Amino acid sequence: MSAAPRIDLHAHSTASDGTLSPAELVRAAAESGLDVVAITDHDTTAGWAPALRALPTGLSLVRGAELSCRWYGERSTLSLHLLAYLFDPEAPELVAELARVRAAREERGERIVALLRADGIDVSWPQILTGAAGGTVGRPHIAQALIRAGLVTTTAEAFGAAWLGERYRLPKEDIDVFRAVRLVRAAGGVPVLAHPLASRRGRVAPDELIAELAAIGLAGLEADHEDHSPAERAHVHALAGELGLLVTGSSDFHGTHKSVRLGAFTTAPEAYERIVAEARGVTGVASG
């Protein structure tokens, strides 16, 4: 009898803030013993084609993205990440939103660098853009500049309160999370809320909001993730059960920008099969 397939549905490449190219990512996934990997770069599908071209035999590739979203409450807003799987990469409204968010990320990055420079910290925006090499720019790229400048030694330290986590943290122009869920569904994709209870990143989505998203088309919740405590994982599993949502587990691999390894958390075959079945066949799962 063969072992259960190993399925990791959340990984980043150099198309955003990972450190492996899309081709290196799929090779590393195969070497890690994965049967299925999803490429989910922030706000872009630019990694899909190179990942497909390099797909090793025996590995299945789920084409996806991680959308920068925001919930707009009456008194405050909340940053949320929405994983979107197997959507049409040419759906015009979604394509336009992703382009807008990528541009907003560059504008925010430049403003963060201006804040740092105003405090006499010698980081260069052009160098940071070069470091991102055409991929979606994120704070991990600014973290690299802080490391190069000798101000911090690790990405984790750069995300501390003294730096990008608070002192030099600026919001970006995200996609309204309700609009994002609808756009992903309209593009034939399957939306799954990423690390919904990762409280050490800041305030998290209340159960009521998740229920509202489920009512308009959210398909699932990412439960097993390194940023969730065991109690948070258990809560996400229970909530998903109550709302009839599927549950995923994934590494959120970022190469050397994070310490987590590919396959550190995995998704059950039943949940993966539900995602594939719900996708409207726009792109399908590719097999190497």
Binding positions for ligand AMP, rule: CB under 6 A: 17, 42, 138-140, 155-156, 159, 254, 257-258
The answer for residues whose C-beta is within 8 angstroms of residue 24's C-beta and 6 or more apart is 13, 54
The answer for residues whose C-beta is within 8 angstroms of residue 267's C-beta and 6 or more apart is 7, 8, 9, 224, 247, 248, 249, 250
Q: How far is CA 144 from the centre of its chain?
A: 19
Q: Binds 258, which of ligand AMP, Zn ion, Fe ion, none (CB < 5 to 8 A, cut-off by type)?
A: ligand AMP
CB of 14 to ligand AMP, least distance (A): 13
Tell me which amino acid residue 49 is.
A
For residues 59 and 284, the answer to whether their CB atoms sit within 8 Å is no
Cβ closer to Fe ion: 176 or 227?
227
CB of 55 to ligand AMP, least distance (A): 24
Cβ closer to Zn ion: 65 or 113?
65
87: closest CA among 64, 66, 60?
64
Cβ closer to Zn ion: 152 or 268?
152
How many residues form the binding site for Zn ion (CB under 5 A)? 1
Binding mask 242-261 for Fe ion (x = CB under 5 A): ----------x---------
CB of 80 to Zn ion, least distance (A): 14
Which residue is nearest to Fe ion, using beta carbons? 81
Measured at the CA of 66, the angle between CA 53 and CA 75, to 5 degrees, comes to 165
Binding mask 191-230 for Fe ion (x = CB under 5 A): ---x------------------------------------
CB of 69 to Fe ion, least distance (A): 10
CB of 257 to ligand AMP, least distance (A): 6
| Strand segments (E) across the chain | 7-8, 36-42, 60-72, 77-85, 175-176, 190-193, 220-224, 246-249, 286-287
Tell me which amino acid residue 227 is.
D
Cβ closer to Zn ion: 8 or 17?
17
Which residue is nearest to ligand AMP, using beta carbons? 138
Cβ closer to ligand AMP: 17 or 224?
17
CA distances to 182, 219, 263, 268 from 155, in Å = 34, 32, 21, 30
| 17 scored as a contact of Zn ion (CB under 5 A) | yes
Q: Which residues bind Zn ion (CB under 5 A)?
A: 17
